[in-house]
């Protein structure tokens, strides 16, 4: 079985600790939420996602993003935040997105994804930012003068709860630990506990912080991890029989299942299937080095697909559901599951996914 309970635990400890620590940082941004500022914020989130993870960046920025735009908040605001900050932005480091973290645990070098995916990341994120800017500009120009008059804006940018940066550093440092079992996860949980105990309750209150979103994610993805293992194990054995023999087919296969099953376990099983195609084992570090050096396009296609396709539905990646939950708790309208897919993923995200395939993997 390519996926174990230990890997699920590592996944939950990482996103859970980042969720708690980020919830103790309160940010207010200077100025009004004009389209240019919103676009810059999402672009900043895409960069920060590679340092704090898509979960950390999402939890850090979603609340100030909501406050800035509450006077004209539309469903596309939360969708493009999920597209860019909660998913595509985190394609450059193993910290960035949970599937890449699982790859790192299996022996993919830390800086490999940056070296091989930066151009694909830049093209995908830039295209999403450009689409968002024109949609947001249209929305902004339609807003009434009365609506603009009640918009929330500030004279200075202010960050509170800076003591939590120490706990973030603990989590990021723990990622590099390959020591005794549970040591890495223990450090992450200790950082989360330290953050929660030392953050003033008033700061948590201003962030409207609750454990509800992370509990929903933990329960939902426990079920997903457990129930998809048999199907993905079958895929691991029969990948070649059903036509998964080229980087492009792995791109679409891993991508489509990442969107509907969760990208972390899907990535791991497609990585196992791809290595099995060449009679290599994902559990053997020497085999991983052979796979990376001789078949890197397969790893590129699986990595990129897992990260970007994870944005296609609410269940494609852990942070997606948390962002949705936070927006709903703030009283904002968000798309339904099918509305998200057919009103946003298909018309806006899918063309970019096709473009990335055509440029980098189709031929």
Provide DSSP, 12-24.
Answer: HHHHHHHHHHHTT
Number of domains within the chain: 1
- The per-residue pLDDT for 14 is 85
Helices 112-142 and 75-84, interaxial angle, to 10°? 170
Domain range spanning residue 299?
5-360
Residue 138, classified by CB atoms within 10 Å of its CB into exposed (0-12), middle (13-18) or buried (19+), is exposed
Mean pLDDT for the stretch of residues 221-239: 71
**Interval 99-158: pLDDT, tens:** 998 899 889 999 999 999 999 999 999 999 999 999 999 999 887 765 665 566 666 778
Residue 62, classified by CB atoms within 10 Å of its CB into exposed (0-12), middle (13-18) or buried (19+), is buried
> Structure pTM?
0.89
Tokens found for residue 159: 């960050």
Rg (C-alpha) for the chain, rounded Å, is 20
The conformation of residue 363, written as its DSSP 8-state character, comes to: -
Q: What integer best gives the mean pLDDT of the chain?
A: 88
- The per-residue pLDDT for 2 is 44
Q: For residue 251, is pLDDT > 60?
A: yes
Compute the C-alpha angle 235/240/244, nearest 5°.
80
Q: Do you know the residue count of the chain? A: 363
Give residue 37's pLDDT band: very low, low, confident or very high (50, 70, 90): very high
The conformation of residue 314, written as its DSSP 8-state character, comes to: T
* Residues in contact with 46: Cβ distance below 8 Å, sequence separation at least 6, in sequence order: 84, 85, 88, 89, 90, 125, 129
Give residue 235's pLDDT band: very low, low, confident or very high (50, 70, 90): low
What's the sign of the alpha-carbon dihedral 204, 99, 238, 117?
Answer: positive
Partner residues linked to 160 by β-bridges:
26
Give residue 52's pLDDT band: very low, low, confident or very high (50, 70, 90): confident
**Interval 66-91: pLDDT, tens:** 988 888 889 999 999 999 999 999 99
Tokens found for residue 321: 């559901």
Residue at token pair 């070296």: 115
Q: E strands, 111-217, where?
A: 158-160
- The per-residue pLDDT for 322 is 87
Q: Tell me how many helices (H) and strands (E) the chain has.
A: 17, 2
Tokens found for residue 340: 């998200």
Q: How far apart are CA 319 and CA 326, in angstroms?
A: 10
**Interval 257-299: pLDDT, tens:** 999 988 988 898 899 889 988 888 888 899 999 999 999 999 9
The conformation of residue 200, written as its DSSP 8-state character, comes to: -
């Amino acid at each position: 079985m390519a996926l174990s309970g230990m890997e699920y635990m590592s996944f939950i400890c990482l996103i859970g600790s980042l969720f708690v620590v980020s919830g103790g940082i309160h940010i207010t941004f200077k100025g009004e939420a004009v389209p240019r500022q919103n676009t810059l914020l999402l672009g900043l989130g895409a960069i920060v996602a590679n340092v704090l993870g898509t979960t950390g960046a999402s939890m850090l920025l979603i609340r100030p993003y909501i406050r800035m735009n509450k006077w004209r908040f539309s469903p596309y605001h939360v969708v493009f935040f999920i597209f860019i900050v909660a998913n595509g932005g985190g394609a450059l480091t193993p910290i960035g997105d949970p599937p890449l973290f699982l790859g790192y645990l299996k022996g993919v070098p830390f800086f490999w994804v940056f070296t091989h995916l930066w151009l694909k990341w830049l093209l995908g994120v830039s295209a999403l930012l450009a689409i968002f800017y024109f949609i947001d500009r249209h929305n902004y120009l339609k807003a009434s003068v009365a609506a603009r008059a009640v918009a929330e804006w500030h004279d200075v940018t202010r960050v509170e709860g800076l003591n939590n940066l120490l706990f973030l550093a603990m989590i990021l440092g723990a990622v590099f630990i390959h020591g005794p079992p549970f040591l890495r996860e223990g450090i992450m949980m200790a950082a989360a506990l330290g953050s929660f105990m030392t953050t003033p309750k008033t700061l948590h209150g201003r962030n409207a912080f609750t454990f509800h979103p992370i509990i929903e994610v933990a329960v939902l993805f426990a079920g997903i991890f457990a129930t998809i293992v048999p199907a993905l194990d079958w895929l691991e054995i029969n990948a070649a029989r059903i036509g998964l023999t080229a980087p492009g087919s792995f791109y679409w296969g891993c991508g489509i299942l990442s969107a509907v099953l969760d990208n972390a376990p899907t990535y791991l099983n497609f990585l196992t299937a791809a290595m099995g195609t060449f009679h290599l084992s994902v559990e053997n570090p020497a085999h991983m080095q052979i796979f990376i050096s001789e078949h890197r396009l397969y790893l590129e296609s699986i990595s990129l697909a897992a990260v970007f396709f994870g944005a296609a539905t609410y269940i494609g990646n852990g942070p997606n559901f948390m962002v949705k939950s936070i927006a709903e708790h703030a009283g904002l309208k968000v798309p339904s599951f099918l509305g998200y897919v057919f009103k946003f993923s298909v018309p806006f995200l899918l063309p970019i996914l096709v473009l990335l395939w055509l440029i980098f993997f189709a031929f």
